[in-house]
Amino acid sequence: MKLTLKPEAENALLEIGLWVEGRNTPGSGSRFIDKLIDKIAGYALPRVKYPVCGNTILAELLLSCISIDNWVVAFHQTNDELIVHYIIYGPGLR
């Protein structure tokens, strides 16, 4: 399956990478982003259905959610694509 990031998700990844880079060694931000994308891509499986998010706003948008470490990834699926809409810091999600 193909993995697609919406602009909001791309912006979140860039902000996360900058934050990580600012607190660690040079290159750590891009390595963190690459690892997070790889983990998300691991969920892009054909014929797998994920439940709708438990968060009311995300559920109204009919988005599914997965949790990766401290991050919540909100997405929807088509037959051949996993489209990531939002990447949200989990403890900040209510």
Q: How many domains is the chain built from?
A: 1
* CATH code (residue 11): 3.30.2310.20
Nearest to 2 by CA among 54, 79, 62, 58: 79
Domain range for 10 is: 2-92
Residues 6+ apart with CB under 8 A from 20: 28, 29, 32
pLDDT in tens, 35-93: 999 999 999 998 888 999 998 999 999 999 999 988 999 999 998 999 999 999 877 66
Report the DSSP pairing between strands 2-5 and 71-77: unpaired
Q: What is the pTM of this model?
A: 0.88
